[in-house]
Amino acid sequence: MIRFNDVSFSYEHGEGFAVQNISTHIGRGEFVGIIGPSGAGKSTLLSMINGVIPHFHKGDFYGEVLVCGKDTVESTCGEISHHVGSVFQDPEAQIVSMVVEDEIAFGLENFGIPADEIETRMAEALKMAGIEHLRRQSTTALSGGQKQRVTIAAAIALRPEILVLDEPTSQLDPVGSRQVFRTLKRLNQEYGITILIVEQKVLLLSEFCSRFMVMDKGRIIMDGPIRQVLEHNDKLLELGINCPRVVTLTKLLQDASLYSGGYPVDVDEAESVIRKIMEETHDQYQESELSVQ
């Protein structure tokens, strides 16, 4: 679906390369979480998939990015938008309409979707994003989190093959964030949409994604299945990436030689690990008690 062949990019007015020597590919139906410290190049990477780079942000572009087999430099932003839906870091910059339903209809009309289908898709997208009640609201009166949901609904309505999202839950509370991730998982599983998401909430990512890309200083420094990447939690902490507490706890248990298995990725898994350890240490304790007697 997406292929980066030795890609480097420096912004016209930037200092040095924002991304450097990126070579990777993302297959159909993958759900990829991108993490890394501020300035690592995460947004730049996403902008190279939806064509914002090089069509909107100018600079020096090396290598090639192929999206659904098409070179993003040779395609127009409009062409790319038929394959890639985007949710940007700042919802304010993305919303162009005064009313929520117009914002969602805007993209659909641009794509030439017939009126009756616009209605069906709008209703579905509003429901999936959890904002049916906001349909006729003015976009200027919305909270930051509500604006984020509107941009998600607008992107979903277009039913893209690929969805790139840049910190789409930064202004949502934990319940709202989880709801967005559930929706994304559904889109990924039921519609086979390939998803790339930049997100600070690593625990949520690790619950929902299948693959992590870790970026630092414009490079992808780790890339693989969630558990495999989380095992390098020392490195993640060094980069200032907030490791899920279940991972930090597992590391402590490993350091105390109490556990040697894989890393749990959610609280339920961590609970079963801890219960197992408690049972084992309890048995050991009872055995030593017996031998003393």
Ligand X SMILES: Nc1ncnc2c1ncn2[C@@H]1O[C@H](COP(=O)(O)OP(=O)(O)OP(=O)(O)O)[C@@H](O)[C@H]1O
The three-point CA angle 83-89-95 to 5° equals 75
- Kindly determine how many residues on this chain lie close enough to bind ligand X according to the rule CB under 6 A: 13
The only residue of 26, 31, 33, 36 in contact with ligand X, by rule CB under 6 A: 36
Binding-site partner at residue 38 among Mg ion, ligand X, none, CB < 5 to 8 Å by type = ligand X
Taking the least distance from each CB to Mg ion, the nearer of 108 and 215 is 215
Q: Is 34 helix (H, G, I), strand (E, B) or coil?
A: strand
The only residue of 1, 18, 129, 230 in contact with ligand X, by rule CB under 6 A: 18
Q: Which stretch binds ligand X (CB under 6 A): 34-42, 169-177, 202-210, 284-292?
A: 34-42
193 closest CA partner among 25, 26, 28: 28
The only residue of 3, 57, 70, 182 in contact with ligand X, by rule CB under 6 A: 57
CA distance 127 to 175: 16
Is residue 43 close enough to count as binding ligand X by CB under 6 A? yes
Q: Whose CB is nearest to ligand X?
A: 14
Contact 15, 171 (CB under 8 A): no
Backbone phi, psi, residue 182, to 5°? -65, -40
Q: How far is the CB of 9 from ligand X (least distance, A)?
A: 9
The three-point CA angle 32-200-1 to 5° equals 20
Residues that bind ligand X (CB under 6 A): 11, 13-14, 18, 36, 38-44, 57
